[in-house]
Amino acid sequence: MATHIVEIKDLQFGFANEVGRIQPLFEGLDLSIERGQFICLVGPSGCGKTTLIRLIAGLLDSQGGTININLKQKDTKRRRAYMFQDARLLPWRRVLSNVMFALEPLPVSKEEAKETALKNLKMVGLEDHANKFPHQLSGGQRQRVAIARALSVGAELLLMDEPFSALDAYTRHELQDDLLEIWQKMDKTIIFITHDMREAEYLANRIITLSEDATIENDKKIKTKRPRKRS
């Protein structure tokens, strides 16, 4: 088994402008991520963080170079679990059903899906809220549902795009600690985008900073022992 879960070599990618010409964003990016790491990806607005994890998730196709995702699981539908800044729950479905929704494309029975969803709702402390609708939850609880949904897919690789940035500091700290516990328990590799350097230093093993021109400006390991103090 390769030790790198993500291997990006010579990545080329740009978006087309109004007249269809590609505006280069990544021009030869190389990046390898070891299995089991908690990576924080930081950098100025517009530098390409979201685009990079969408490429890793397979939601966008690269235009050159290679992106290898080396998973233990062979089931490619479980390849990615992607989490956004907002929870993106379906308002007409109850919490449990929102979590089960993520399992619909997978070859699992309804009973199994329900069991998995309940287990993960418990993991994020929401077992008593399974029958509520999203509008009956706080912002933090909705993000917890989104975490439970991401976990339910069973993906080895969790891609999280500023998932806690809309939350108040207290809730954010709680969710950071919950996520760290999940990461330590469940053998996940996490790539987590944040604007908040303190959040990155609290969470990450490794902080990758992209610069304005979508190159890696800084790549540092954080070896501070856990539990860490918040700065």
Ligand X SMILES: Nc1ncnc2c1ncn2[C@@H]1O[C@H](COP(=O)(O)OP(=O)(O)OP(=O)(O)O)[C@@H](O)[C@H]1O
Binding residues for Mg ion, per CB under 5 A?
50
Smallest distance from ligand X to CB 15, Å: 3
Smallest distance from ligand X to CB 164, Å: 14
DSSP element (H, E) containing 199: helix 197-203
With binding defined as CB under 6 A, does residue 191 bind ligand X? Answer: no
Judged by CB, which is closer to ligand X: 43, or 163?
43
Smallest distance from Mg ion to CB 56, Å: 13
With binding defined as CB under 6 A, does residue 231 bind ligand X? Answer: no
Angstrom distances, CA of residue 215 to CA of 8, 43, 108, 148, 204: 13, 10, 41, 33, 20
With binding defined as CB under 6 A, does residue 160 bind ligand X? Answer: no
How many whole angstroms separate alpha carbon 125 and alpha carbon 119?
Answer: 10
With binding defined as CB under 6 A, does residue 50 bind ligand X? Answer: yes
Q: Which stretch binds ligand X (CB under 6 A): 39-47, 75-83, 165-173, 177-185?
A: 39-47
How many whole angstroms separate alpha carbon 112 and alpha carbon 117?
Answer: 9
3-state secondary structure 157-179: EEEEECCCCCCCHHHHHHHHHHH
Binder among 42, 47, 145, 157 for ligand X (CB under 6 A): 47
Q: Helix (H, G, I), strand (E, B), or coil: what is residue 156? A: coil
Per-residue interface string for the shown chain with ligand X, residues 7-26, x marking contact by CB under 6 A: --------x---------x-
Two structure tokens written together for 224: 């501070």
Smallest distance from Mg ion to CB 161, Å: 6
- Dihedral angle sign, alpha carbons of residues 41, 43, 44, 48: negative
How many whole angstroms separate alpha carbon 116 and alpha carbon 131?
Answer: 15
Binder among 51, 98, 141, 176 for ligand X (CB under 6 A): 51
Partner interacting with residue 117 (select from ligand X, Mg ion, none; CB below 5-8 Å by kind): none
User: Would you tell me which residues interact with ligand X (CB under 6 A)?
Assistant: 15, 25, 43, 45-51
